[in-house]
Amino acid sequence: MKEIIKLDKVWKVYEMNGNSVEALKNVSLNIKNNEFLSIMGPSGSGKSTLLNSIGCLDFPTKGKIFLKGNNISKLDESQLAEIRGKTIGFIFQTFNLLYSLSVLENVMLPMAFQDKNKEERKKRARKLLISVGLKERLNHRPNQLSGGEMQRVAIARSLANDPEVILADEPTGNLDSKNGQLIMEILKKLHKQGGKTLILVTHDINLAKYANRQINILDGILRVKRGRK
């Protein structure tokens, strides 16, 4: 199975108050097409830095990061933004929806940066929202929705440009158990039926076990375990 994201001996060092902080230490990781990967780690473990690296949002201090075979350090900002926008969809714990826009407009927004016309954006956004059970909420604003509904909007938005990779950062963290389970079922369906590579960051060991592969990070160092098949 072909790899879609690769970290090769990646180090990330931050300079803070005259001190060097090693957030990632010699991390090598291959993520393959249609893989379901979970990442766990306590606060300060380097989990957020690893997430930003996998999502090609940050450049390494040492080592290389490849997105679809492209060394991201060799791309200029516009080239990286374009390939990242087409390849990776992001889902956040805090939803990150724009409250000034309707549900439909929130999902349409990422497509505006990929040169799709308005009618095409509207048609796809509507289809995605219906697929996550929000047919009756298209013209609502985010503040008129429940937490579970807002996260379903966020999932639909992450799929707007039909990315190959979904990066979900604590997607159930602000939800009750019922809505959290619903979100996990949607994500599992995307992986199994939609052919998406799914990368899940979670503190919940019960959610992490659904992945085909589990990664624990501590003090910037990776440990890999197997999950469910």
At what angle are helices 103-112 and 118-131 packed, to 10 degrees?
A: 130
Q: Indicate the domain borders of the chain.
A: 3-226
Does residue 226 carry a pLDDT above 60?
Answer: no
64-106, pLDDT tens digit by residue?
Answer: 999 999 999 999 988 898 889 899 999 988 999 999 999 999 9
DSSP string across 142-196: GGGS-HHHHHHHHHHHHTTT--SEEEEESTTTTS-HHHHHHHHHHHHHHHHTT--
Q: Do 65 and 72 contact (CB within 8 A), yes or no? A: yes
Predicted TM-score of the model (pTM): 0.89
Predicted confidence band of residue 143 (pLDDT cuts 50, 70, 90): very high
Residue 43 is predicted with a pLDDT of 83
Residue 166 is predicted with a pLDDT of 95
Rounded Cα gap, residues 71 and 73, in angstroms? 6
Residue 223 is predicted with a pLDDT of 84
Give the type of residue at 57.
L
What would the two tokens of residue 181 be?
């389970």
Q: What is the CATH number of domain 3-226?
A: 3.40.50.300
Residue 87 is predicted with a pLDDT of 94
Rounded Cα gap, residues 119 and 128, in angstroms? 14
Using CA atoms, how far residue 58 sits from 12, 14, 17, 164, 205, in Å, is 9, 12, 21, 19, 27
12-49, pLDDT tens digit by residue?
Answer: 999 988 899 999 999 999 999 999 999 998 888 998 89
